[in-house]
Each structure stands twice: as structure tokens, then as C-alpha cells.
Amino acid sequence: MTKQQITKTDKDFDIMGNYRRVRVGIVGASGYGGVQLVRLLIDHPDVEVVYMGGDSTTGKKFADIYPHLAHAINLTVEKVDPEVIAERCEVVFLSVPNGLACQMAPILLAKGCKVLDLSADYRFTNLSTYSAWYGKERSDNETASKAVYGLPELYRERIAEAQLVGCPGCYPTASLLALSPLLKQGLIVPETAIIDAKSGTSGGGREAKVNMLLAEADNSIAAYAVAKHRHTPEIEQICSELAGHEVTVQFTPHLVPMVRGILSTVYANLRDPGLVRDDLITIYRAFYRNSPWIKICDADTYPQTKWACGSNLCYIGIEVDTRTGRIIVMSVIDNLIKGQAGQAVQCMNLMMGWDETLGLPKLGFYP
């Protein structure tokens, strides 16, 4: 949808009659999520990035951190003061490590900002689950209770009404998009779900870590955080809501030697062994018929991470093993776009009453 197609109110125009873009701030602009947000928001027809915040990069020109964007934006990273941010911004993206957004969001919300948190702070309906898995105590129950889980394909209407959105993790995004039609329609035995997921190294952020060194990660593949990754309770929370009862899943993440992309392969036992692949493709297409970012592959076509990289798309491939009675669903996303910054922009579009595709990349880089 173009800018001209959006319904405008008087509030959207200044006294000279010029169209006024929504003022947006990014806390954590120097990180991988931050720089993706900058890239997407610079190209967004209805917003203007007016504030960037950070920690170790405070005082640096953004163009000195990312010289490839020097021609496109001229802002300096500032100290984080939520009161000041709220005076300057209508919408604020918090792309910071876990445990920080919950210190900033309550102040921003009280001052009337719409807030999108890219960390895990506002993903959980039960804060004791967050504390148990993230090792951080929380006292902002009231704020957390107002947060909406930012997976538009499931919670579009709730997101549109929200002032605070807790954007999903990258693995949960890929995995839940693969599992949701099955759980919502009771097609699988939920407890049989096994999620085998692989991520590129950018999923670990820009901060230096030994396991992310080229010499460590290249030409090698390994599982990590087996049976204890913190995305497990996040996936289970949504699976339980969809199934209507408590669900546990087996989730194993792997680090693979590439920069961007997630492949999540999900296995589960079908309740009805008579269901064939073509039925399931039809069911998935019907489930996602109003979801422009989800593409269900044709029969015998299995998606590659390369298809999604650079775009906000999620490609889903479906197969049934008639010998075992299991469905196998393969879901690919770009962890930094649909798995992080792109999904946050998609949520912002909904919160602002705009088309959810506005300003987002529709085609992958390929190759």
C-alpha cells in the first residue's frame, strides 16, 4: 500500500498542510536488530527516525558505526533517558539485551508512547516463567499484563489495539508459524512435537563472543543449549494457548556457518493417519489466507533460508511420512527480519492502523 492509500486524519498534517511522519526512536541502534530497524524505517513512507539510543556507542555518530548508511541518516547515538525519548518520539523500539526493556517501557508507556520490545521482557504472560528461565526478578507485573505477543499471524487484532508489544524470539517465530495451523485445528498430538532448528550466527547479536568467531563457527555445526534453551517456554506458552491445554515440546537449536537465516524443521504425530500431504497444504493455505508474509510451498518443494533472507517472508514446506504417520513442516525466515526487526515493523504498522506490509521488503536477496 502506498502513502496515498492510507487514510489520513488532520493530526497527520502540520499547520502548513504538510504530511507529518510519525516520530520513531530506536534504543540499541548500534546492534544487529538496531541497524536492521534503521534500514527498514528509513525506507518506510510514514515514519521518521528522530532518536537513537545506546550504551557503549553513546556520543558516536551512527554513520561512524555503520559508514554504509552515512548518506541516509545523520543522527548521533544518545544516552538513554526514557523521559527525553518520550518527549521526542511517538513510537519507540527497544532492541536491547534482556532485562533492560522492563526498566524503560513503563516510563515510555506512561508518557503515551507506543513501545515495541524486541527482547524477551514482554513475551511472557506469566512473569515467574520469565524469571525462572532468564534469571531476573521482575516487579512490573502491571505493565507486563498489558503486553501483547507480537506474532501478527496469530494476534493481529490484539496487536492493533496494543500500546506495548513483546516481539517474539527468532526461533519461536519460525517454529510457531510451522506449528500453529496443526495445533489450532487439533490435527496433531501436541506432546509429540519435536522442533529441530538451525540459525545463522547473527542470531547471537553483534557483541563479540568466542563461539561466533569465524574460526570457531565456520565449517562446523553443533547443537547448543540442548533441552534448556530459553525459547522453549516461549514456544510452549503459545502452543498451550493454541491447543487449549499445557503443552511441552522438544526444541533443539543448532548454530550453522552462515550469517542470516533460520530453518525450523518440526515433526509431530498426526491424529488422523488418513490425512495426506495435499490436504495439509490446503489447510495451511486456508489458515494463512490473510497473512501476506507467509508463503506455503507447493508439494515436493522444501524451502531454503536463502529464499527468505533480506525479506520479511516466512516460507513453509509440508510433507507427510505415511509410514510413521508424522507430518514434517519446514519453516524458513531471515532471523533479523521476520525473526526480529521486520516483525517489529509489521507490528508497528498494525498498531498504527496501517497496512501490515508497509515499508517492508517483499523479496529475498537470492543468492
Ligand X SMILES: CC(=O)N[C@@H](CCC(=O)OP(=O)(O)O)C(=O)O
Positions marked catalytic: 170
User: Smallest distance from the beta carbon of 315 to ligand NDP, in angstroms?
Assistant: 18
Could you give phi then psi for residue 186, rounded to 5 degrees?
A: 65, 35
Are 35 and 8 a contacting pair, CB within 8 Å? no
- With CB under 6 A as the contact rule, which of the stretches 50-58, 184-192, 287-295, 317-325 interacts with ligand NDP? 50-58
Binding at 269: pick from ligand NDP, ligand X, none (beta carbon under 5-8 Å per type): none
* Residue 140 grid coordinates: 512490573
Cα separation of 150 and 169, whole Å?
10
Contact positions with ligand NDP (CB under 6 A) in 180-219? 202-203, 205-207
Cα separation of 110 and 114, whole Å?
10
- Give whichever of 110 and 259 is closer to ligand X, judged by the CB atom: 259
Q: Tell the residue number behind the cell numbers 528522530, with chain if given.
A: 50
- With CB under 6 A as the contact rule, which of the stretches 66-74, 141-149, 185-193, 336-344 interacts with ligand NDP? 336-344
- 170 binds ligand X per the rule CB under 6 A: yes
- Give whichever of 98 and 304 is closer to ligand X, judged by the CB atom: 98
- Give whichever of 148 and 320 is closer to ligand X, judged by the CB atom: 148
Relative to beta strand 91-94, strand 148-149 is unpaired
Q: Give one word for 112, left, alpha or beta, with left for phi > 0 and alpha for psi -120 to 50.
A: left
- With CB under 6 A as the contact rule, which of the stretches 11-19, 53-61, 185-193, 223-231 interacts with ligand NDP? 53-61
- Give whichever of 43 and 207 is closer to ligand NDP, judged by the CB atom: 207
Are 205 and 31 a contacting pair, CB within 8 Å? yes
Q: Tell the residue number behind the cell numbers 501483547, with chain if given.
A: 148
Q: Which residues bind ligand X (CB under 6 A)?
A: 98, 119-120, 169-170, 199, 203-204, 231, 253, 255
